[in-house]
Amino acid sequence: MSRRIATFDDFRDAVTAYRLPRVLIAGIELDLFTTIGTAAWTVSELARDVKVSERGLAILCRNLAMAGLLKKRGETYTNSRLGATALNAYHPAYRGDYLRLITSHWADWGRLLESVKTGLPLDHDEPEEPGYRRRFTWAMHHRTLETAPKIAAQINLRGARTLLDLGGGPGTYAMAFLAKNPMLRATVCDRPAALDVAREIASTHKAGARLSHVPLDLLTEAIPGTYDVIWYSNVLHIYSPKDNQAVFRRALTALNPGGRLLIQDAFLHDRDGLFPEEASLFAVSMLLFTERGNTYSAAEARVWLTDAGFQRIKVLRMKKGTEDWEDGILDARAPGTNAKTRLRRTGSARSLRPRSSH
């Protein structure tokens, strides 16, 4: 919904927009796309297989076909391309962990008033509980596995040799940066259970040999080592302004002179903090699931960065349709000049530079 609600009809349309999401979630809950697979089914065959009523399934399938997720020809249904791949548990492109996470949010959003009343998250899985952390980390991988390479392709890390993926979870972004930059080495910092998943993912990629893993509570512990780049993606919104300011100060001490802190998040872009819609709605998730999280504007984060001692702060815009979030990535520099850049400027770095390949 990108339009404003002005009339009662607008209001009714906005409220009843729950209908299609509920139909889609029912399809996922029945694991219908997996059952359909690559075959053509009549409703009665399918109803027998998934053990639901024929009447109920006929109406559900018709709506899934209306939405484009199934194809209907006469009396038979087949999968759409999306249904047969990302929604099908037997396909390698299946994104089941993320599907489970977002469909489970349906029940959580139904309890929104509880959090509005108390200002506290729903009593939920403990973020430190290893089983929960493992499932969530796989969900984050399934969320970004297509986006991360597109982002990495647009961020110029030439000259950088070391990158820290702070709160990197599955390390999907770190892996994408490594794949794009053959001279780079990366480290993922996160909770131990998240790092187990990151290790499993890295072991399936050649570039994974250049990835290391360091368990860290990023909220309370100093960041070990120093880096040319720190990538802080989708963590800002979990914490309060004060928490993030403290993280920024610690990040500065972990950057080499002239090093970069890159922050990717659901930034708001207007003075009143209303838009984009996705960033405003994401704050509701933070109310439901975190103690102090929220969404922030890039302007607010810029002030925190300046206070922490960062310089030359700018916004990197990604090509439309390739972004994780629509309002860009903050790029802030530690004071000083990176040693390699300094040498290159004076001309004495020639021998350090790899020979140009073109």
In the complex, which residues of this chain contact ligand SAM (CB under 6 A)?
137, 140, 144, 167-169, 172-173, 190-191, 194, 216-219, 233-235, 238
Closer residue to ligand SAM, CB minimum distance, 67 or 281: 281
Closer residue to ligand SAM, CB minimum distance, 160 or 198: 198
CB of 121 to ligand SAM, least distance (A): 14
Closer residue to ligand SAM, CB minimum distance, 173 or 304: 173
CA distance 156 to 329: 13
CB of 97 to ligand SAM, least distance (A): 12
CB of 10 to ligand SAM, least distance (A): 32
Inter-residue contact 295 to 237 (CB < 8 Å): yes
- For residue 19, the surrounding DSSP H or E stretch is helix 19-29
Cβ contacts of residue 131 below 8 Å, gap of 6+? 193
Closer residue to ligand SAM, CB minimum distance, 235 or 287: 235
Token output for 172: 């999907």
Closer residue to ligand SAM, CB minimum distance, 304 or 325: 325
- Alpha carbon separation from 28 to 47, 65, 88, 97, 187 (Å, rounded): 15, 14, 9, 12, 35
CB of 323 to ligand SAM, least distance (A): 12
CA distance 287 to 296: 13
CB of 148 to ligand SAM, least distance (A): 8
Query: Which residue's structure tokens are 């989708």?
Result: 234
